[in-house]
Amino acid sequence: MSSNSTNYMRLLSLTKQLTSYVNQGRHLDALSLFHTMQTSPSLTLDPFVFPLVLKSCAAIHRRRLASSIHAHATKSSLLSNQFVACALIDMYGKCFSISLARKLFDEIPQRNAVSWSSMISLYTRYGRMDAALGLFQSMDVEPNESTFNAIIAGLTEVGDGPSKAIGFYRRMQELGLRPNLITLLALLPACVVLAALSSIKEIHGYAFRSNIEPHPQLRSGLVEAYGRCASLVNARNVFRYMKERDVVAWSSLISAYALHGEARAALEVFKQMELAKVRPDDITFLGVLKACSHAGLADEALGYFDRMRIDYKVEASADHYSCLVDALSRAGRLYEAYKVIKEMTMKPTAKTWGALLGACRTYGEVELAEIAGRALFEIEPSNAANYVLLAKIYASVGRYEEAERMRMEMKERGVKVAPGSSWI
């Protein structure tokens, strides 16, 4: 075997080992191996080695090494290699500076759709949609599916973005590009924000025609989207035809029923989930507790809360506690709810205290209302609703001086009630 063949086989073996280190998260070992490869006079490094090393640099924030690889890539004309260029952009954007990533992007001699997509994705990841859209409009190559996916995913997270996201979906199809699984998963939240049931059905139909629909992740997303848009029949139908139902699918259906007050249906689905031997997680129990909360099923909420922590070893979050407090409060068990708040393993949130305060008005419980109200004033000092509610509770039991004191306190703190308005 010639020396060239021997060196090639050695390079191939070391590259495989390097890939293994990176995939296992052994980044120090990966960088040590790269140093060995780089200093070996008999080896000429393949461009595909550099994206692997840059991934490790990003993971453990080795900026100096990353900068030296950037310099090497520039001198060796490797920036024309899109894999190396995109890896550098991604590394700079994730760990160091989006401005450096943009500077590098501008240095690339020949940019293709992949490098444009990498920079646009960085802007969307940091919520800089104006910059992302501006870059998209200035593209001098045809955008691909990844470019559109980055824009659509980013738009879902901002103000009027959801409607624009659906517009980009239609534009994508007009250009002859085929939306893929990533596109559809990014679009569904936009449809939910807009309560656009017709758009969800359109996406569902496209997924069915394109043979993407059977994907478990998309079906779970469809169950959630239909559920949030109050189309429980469609949510249930999608769920029914799933061959493999993971914890996400079960949790999505439970949450759909809980959201629309179908508590018994939600609890029945949870029962079926247990019979199917699928282990519930924190999201599952959040849906179950919300169902109990909306229906005022206090005993059931206590039972599921205990099972969550004891049987399934799921740690309760502030949201779990809020649902439990809400369920007890709605059932008139206010002091039990207050006891739960005092025993919380984390600081109670405004949502938790708000559930108790709201119930105090319903049941005319002034003493607890004062405790909840004062706690809310500390957490949300500018939220006028808390002051107004406590004032109304005082007034409802004839304690008008305290009610007036609340209004004076609002004035002293500069808290103002937003004026009501009507679209009509």
pLDDT score for 423 = 45
| Exposed e or buried b per residue across 33-65, where buried means at least 16 C-beta atoms within 10 angstroms of its C-beta | bbeebeeeeebebeeebbbbbbbbbbbeebeeb
Q: How far does CA 110 lie from the centroid of its chain?
A: 34
Distance CA 398, CA 307 (A): 43
pLDDT score for 381 = 87
pLDDT score for 85 = 80
Distance CA 383, CA 298 (A): 28
pLDDT score for 296 = 86
138 vs 62, residue with greater confidence:
138
Query: Taking all residues of the chain, what is their mean pLDDT, rounded to a whole number?
Result: 87
Helix (H) or strand (E) holding 285: helix 282-295
Whether 420 has a pLDDT exceeding 60, the answer reads: no
Whether 418 has a pLDDT exceeding 70, the answer reads: no
Handedness of CA 43, 48, 51, 53 (dihedral sign): negative
pLDDT score for 2 = 57
Handedness of CA 271, 276, 280, 283 (dihedral sign): negative
Whether 1 has a pLDDT exceeding 60, the answer reads: no
Q: Which of 34-38, 120-124, 199-203 has the highest mean pLDDT?
A: 199-203
pLDDT score for 27 = 87
pLDDT score for 90 = 81
| Exposed e or buried b per residue across 356-371, where buried means at least 16 C-beta atoms within 10 angstroms of its C-beta | bbbbbeeeebbebbbb
Both tokens assigned to 80: 């024309």
Whether 407 has a pLDDT exceeding 80, the answer reads: yes
Average pLDDT over residues 190-217: 90
Question: Are 275 and 289 in contact, with CB atoms under 8 Å apart?
Answer: no
> What tens digit of pLDDT does each residue of 216-249 get?
899 999 999 999 998 999 999 999 989 889 999 9
Question: Are 14 and 8 in contact, with CB atoms under 8 Å apart?
Answer: no
Closest CA to 41 of 7, 70, 5, 1: 7
Q: Which of 152-156, 231-235, 407-411 has the highest mean pLDDT?
A: 231-235
Torsion on CA atoms 235, 240, 241, 244, rounded to nearest 10? 100
What pTM value is reported for the model? 0.77
Residue 115's pLDDT band (cuts 50, 70, 90): confident
Whether 314 has a pLDDT exceeding 60, the answer reads: yes
pLDDT score for 182 = 92
Residue 334's pLDDT band (cuts 50, 70, 90): very high
Residues 316-414: name the CATH superfamily: Tetratricopeptide repeat domain (1.25.40.10)
pLDDT score for 3 = 61
Tell the residue number behind the tokens 């990966």, with chain if given.
Answer: 30
Question: Are 327 and 297 in contact, with CB atoms under 8 Å apart?
Answer: yes
Distance CA 320, CA 15 (A): 47
Average pLDDT over residues 29-42: 83
> What tens digit of pLDDT does each residue of 161-184 get?
888 999 999 999 999 999 999 999
Q: Which of 49-63, 99-113, 183-197, 279-293 has the highest mean pLDDT?
A: 279-293
Helices first, then strands: H and E counts in the chain: 24, 0
Q: Where are the chain's structural domains? A: 316-414
Closest CA to 48 of 34, 61, 68: 34
Closest CA to 203 of 169, 241, 251, 156: 169
CA 40-43-49 angle, 5° bins: 100
> What tens digit of pLDDT does each residue of 335-377 get?
999 999 999 989 999 999 999 999 999 998 999 999 999 999 9
Closest CA to 14 of 214, 394, 42: 42
Residues 6+ apart with CB under 8 A from 212: 180, 181, 184, 206, 218
Distances (CA, A) of 333 to 69, 195, 286, 368: 64, 35, 20, 12
Whether 13 has a pLDDT exceeding 90, the answer reads: no
pLDDT score for 309 = 95
Of the listed ranges 46-55, 312-321, 333-342, the one predicted with least confidence = 46-55
Whether 96 has a pLDDT exceeding 70, the answer reads: no
pLDDT score for 108 = 81
Residues 6+ apart with CB under 8 A from 276: 245, 250
Of the listed ranges 194-198, 224-228, 229-233, 409-413, the one predicted with least confidence = 409-413
Residue 419's pLDDT band (cuts 50, 70, 90): low
Residue 92 exposure: Cα atoms within 13 Å on the Cβ side: 21
Q: Is 424 exposed, middle or buried (0-12, 13-18, 19+ CB in 10 A)?
A: exposed
